[in-house]
Amino acid sequence: MIVTLIIACEVGFWVLLAGGLSLRYLAKMPRTGAAVLLLEPVLELVLLVATAIDLRNGAEADWKHGLAAVYIGYSVGLGHATIKWVDQRFAHRFAGGPPPVKAPKYGTARTVHEWKTAGRWVLAAAVAMGLLQAAIWYVGDSGDISSLRAWQTKMLFVIGINLIIAASYTIWPKQPKDSRARQIT
């Protein structure tokens, strides 16, 4: 049931996103479009409640419950950025909006971009880890929590990878090719 609900929430996310942006730009109803986009968090709330009910009804805590926590964490940490990314492209493609803002390629601006991205991923992983820990406490000693602990370990890995990537741009900032050639000579 949980996997089906996760898939339904993901499909619902894209349906609400497409509907909200279509109302905003194609139907020229920006407030209605914004209202539809504001329904996005309801999907995560439904998933959270359904997961808690599933565990309360005696379901064995397994990878599906962990995946639900990770999905909610992603939505919290990266959902807004995803919506903004799609919004810029939709406005440009269908409503004559300006071209989407591209990520900076070089120097300090790129480093800042990488740290902001890492921050979003850290937030997503931290929310997922918090939800996983709440599920562990909820299940208590009465059930097997090894799969939930495994998801927490994966979230630590996500945090570590993103911090390493951001730190690498701090230590070795990416430079344009022509400026590297001048530094070598």
Q: pLDDT digit string (tens) for 3-33?
A: 999 999 999 999 999 999 999 999 999 999 9
pLDDT value for 183 = 59
Q: Average pLDDT over the chain, rounded to whole?
A: 93
Residue 147 has pLDDT above 90, yes or no: yes
Residue 177 confidence (pLDDT) above 60 = yes
From CA 7, how far away is CA 116, in angstroms rounded? 28
Residue with tokens 């309360």: 56
The mean per-residue pLDDT over the stretch 65-79 comes to 96
Burial of 167-185, coded b for 16+ CB within 10 Å and e otherwise, reads eebeeeeeeeeeeeeeeee
What was the pLDDT predicted at 166?
98
pLDDT at 180 over 90: no
Averaged pLDDT for residues 51-57: 90
Q: What percent of the chain has pLDDT over 90?
A: 85
pLDDT given at position 139: 87
